[in-house]
Amino acid sequence: MKNEVLQAELDTLIATQAGLMAIVGSLMATHPNYDKFQLHLTGLLEVLLTGDAGKTFTSQQRQQARDFVQTLQNLHEAPSKIEPLVFVDGPKG
């Protein structure tokens, strides 16, 4: 029973992370001042990880946080106009 509860909690965390990554990635890609957003994100991450908030993090957790943010930062700027029903390179499949 204990393993089932832990697995359910882990599944929830994984699903939540995926959802947050989609939301934050979308916000980053469509932000009107993309470069400024990227610079602020990098600075804020380091403040959080090295300041009081990050004191309880292990070095592995700090690196994982940096890797996560870096993954998001590899998203490219969205086009100025997004047409959700139009395929850029044709339909996939």
Phi, psi of 89 (to 5 degrees): -110, 20
How distant, in Å, are the alpha carbons of 26, 28, 49, 79 from that of 76?
10, 9, 25, 9
Tens digits of residue pLDDT in 29-51:
788 888 888 888 888 898 989 98
Q: Which of 41, 40, 30, 50 is nearest to 68 (CA)?
A: 41
Q: Taking the complete model, does pTM exceed 0.85, yes or no?
A: no
What tens digit of pLDDT does each residue of 54-73 get?
889 899 988 988 888 887 77
- Tell me the C-alpha distance between 70 and 86, whole Å: 29
